[in-house]
Structure 1
Amino acid sequence: MSHSLIDLNEVTIRPFHPDDAADQHAIVSHPSVAAMLLQLPSMELIETERWAASTKSGRHRLVADWNGRVIGAINVTQHLRPRLTHSGSLGMMVHPDAWGQGVGSQLMAAALNIADNWLNLSRVELEVFTHNQSAIHLYEQFGFELEGTSKKAVFGNGRFLDEHVMARLHGAFPGPSEPAPPASPPPPATFAPEDVTIRLPRPKDASDLHACYCHPLVARTTLQMPSQEIGLVQKRLENANKRLHRFVAEVSDTAVGSIFLYQSDTPRMAHKAKLGMMVHPAYWGQGIGSQLMAAVIDLADNWLNVQRLELEVNTDNPAGVRLYRKFGFEIEGTKRWHVFGDGRLADSHFMARIR
């Protein structure tokens, strides 16, 4: 269909319905749209139909219906991890037939009404390619601000693309006015360098790793909860995943730290991976974090050919920031009002190591 003049009075913003799959596919598979999203122009209708029939907790899907034809769509997804429920993410697309005619503004207004007045989200974030200036301008009109830029975030149309991370903060600061100080660290453990072994995890590590996860200082600097039960740790150790790569630091037959690398399962982001780690506070500052980092970076560089390794770290964790910088990570930006825990609402740097 050629470019059409849209009368906004004929456009209805309504919840998504599985019957919208064909129109949704016509939008997402359009080359001009695929170039601005994470999909491939080769995406088949059956994939969209499966997505249309699926349900996902926390996801709210709206469409712009123009006389029976869906010409745009937007999703608001509330983060369901306990310490992130004050926040959510947003994604939007509009068919090129309707670009520049106010459909995107209608979708944004409807989605932010859900975020503000029904979900009470304090933070809504999104990613947008740096060359998509029209979308950036639209998001700025609705109060989104640039928080940083992720380099080589996505591959498409023959090149790596950078992405801006933008966020809109809503309402009063949702954290305490006087953040609680961190707990005092335990006495440092005594051990010799030769006592440390970096190895693959085993199911029997569950009790040791559970003690790490539940320590308040570890939970504070990760997304873990000090109340989590050992069954969750056992389940993680038992569930192998070909995209998940893990190492454990063992000292005198005790697992005292762990690190993971998770490769993206999105085809256009297959070149990148996320990193997360923890070390029991009794072993902080004694080189175990560096040994774990060296092991996972060797795997990323020499076995997986990862081009972009990324992580998030609280801004009030300077020791973590120093460790990551030591291994070539750079701060790309800062997520405001990012994660609640241990009596404070922390901002987080997003960092990356680019090859």
Structure 2
Amino acid sequence: MDISIREINREDAEALLHHTQLVFTQSSFLLTTPEEFVLNVEKQREWIIQQSTLGNLLLGCEVNGKIVGFLNASRSQRKRVSHNCMFGISIQKDYWNMGIGRKMLNYMIEWAENHPMIEKVSLEVFSHNERAIYLYKSLDFSEEGRKKRHIKFEDGTYVDEILMSRFVK
């Protein structure tokens, strides 16, 4: 199996759109529901260009040439918090537990460490996503706060949303 991590570019719009549409149907760990995600290929391409222009990191994981993971790290545009970076990550279910998340996170952490402005990297994770929380803690992220019953699922159940962060400088 050939696994590679690389930055996403505008030519990846269709493959990234397919990945995103798929992961929204596979997991209860993501905020967006499948019916809420309404981008088309052109809008996806425009979003990729916009993120690149802002200097944000768009990272893909390919297995045998197919995008199966995506990480988006965005630095705040507001001056007083411009030293902060927030990220989100998604991996297709067939590729869970293969070390892809760790590889993508290590790439992103190194990118943040080398970025002249970024000092702190943060994320939000659902409290029932135990594998992800374990991974984040293993990479020196720690819990900063918790939004109680912040996420409400279609069946009426709730989970907390946990804010985690790591200083890179």
Of 33, 44, 51, the residue aligned with 1:40 is: 33
Give secondary structure in 2 for the equivalent of 1:154. Answer: strand
For structure 2, the residue ranges without an aligned partner over 5 or more in a row are none
Deviations 1:300-324 (A, max 9, x none): xxxxxxxxxxxxxxxxxxxxxxxxx
Q: Distance in 2 between matches of 1:137 and 1:11?
A: 22
TM-score under structure 1 normalisation? 0.42
Q: Distance in 2 between matches of 1:48 and 1:158?
A: 29
> Is the alpha carbon distance of 1:164 and 1:63 closer, same or farther for their aligned partners in structure 2, counting shifts above 3 Å?
same
Counterpart contact for 1:63–1:70, Cα < 8 Å = yes
> Is the alpha carbon distance of 1:27 and 1:110 closer, same or farther for their aligned partners in structure 2, counting shifts above 3 Å?
same
Which has the higher relative contact order, 1 or 2, with Cα contacts under 8 A spaced 6 or more apart? 2
Q: Distance in 2 between matches of 1:87 and 1:66?
A: 31
Q: Distance in 2 between matches of 1:24 and 1:151?
A: 32
Counterpart contact for 1:58–1:79, Cα < 8 Å = no
Paired AA for residue 36 in structure 1 = F
Q: How does 1:71-90 map to 2 (within 5 A)?
A: 71-90=68-87
Counterpart contact for 2:112–2:168, Cα < 8 Å = no
**Counterpart for residue 155 of structure 2:** 158
Segments ≥4 residues shifted beyond 6 Å? none
**Counterpart for residue 167 of structure 1:** 165
**Counterpart for residue 126 of structure 1:** 123
Residue 58 of structure 1, CA deviation: 4.0
Counterpart contact for 1:23–1:71, Cα < 8 Å = no
Give secondary structure in 1 for the equivalent of 2:35. Answer: coil
Residue 39 of structure 1, CA deviation: 1.3
The structure whose Rg is larger is: 1
Q: How does 1:235-314 map to 2 (within 5 A)?
A: none
Give secondary structure in 2 for the equivalent of 1:42. Answer: helix
More helix by share: 2
Q: Distance in 1 between matches of 2:11 and 2:73?
A: 20
Residue 87 of structure 1, CA deviation: 1.1
Identity %: 26
Give secondary structure in 2 for the equivalent of 1:77. Answer: strand
Give secondary structure in 1 for the equivalent of 2:118. Answer: coil
Q: Distance in 2 between matches of 1:12 and 1:20?
A: 14
Q: How does 1:318-329 map to 2 (within 5 A)?
A: none
Residue 120 of structure 1, CA deviation: 4.5
Of 16, 19, 39, the residue aligned with 1:24 is: 16
> Is the alpha carbon distance of 1:119 and 1:134 closer, same or farther for their aligned partners in structure 2, counting shifts above 3 Å?
farther
Counterpart contact for 1:14–1:64, Cα < 8 Å = yes
TM-score under structure 2 normalisation? 0.85
Give secondary structure in 2 for the equivalent of 1:63. Answer: strand
Counterpart contact for 1:28–1:39, Cα < 8 Å = no
**Counterpart for residue 323 of structure 1:** none
**Counterpart for residue 51 of structure 1:** 44
Aligned residues: 161
Q: Distance in 2 between matches of 1:109 and 1:70?
A: 18
Q: Distance in 1 between matches of 2:15 and 2:5?
A: 15
CA RMSD of superposed structures (Å):
1.9
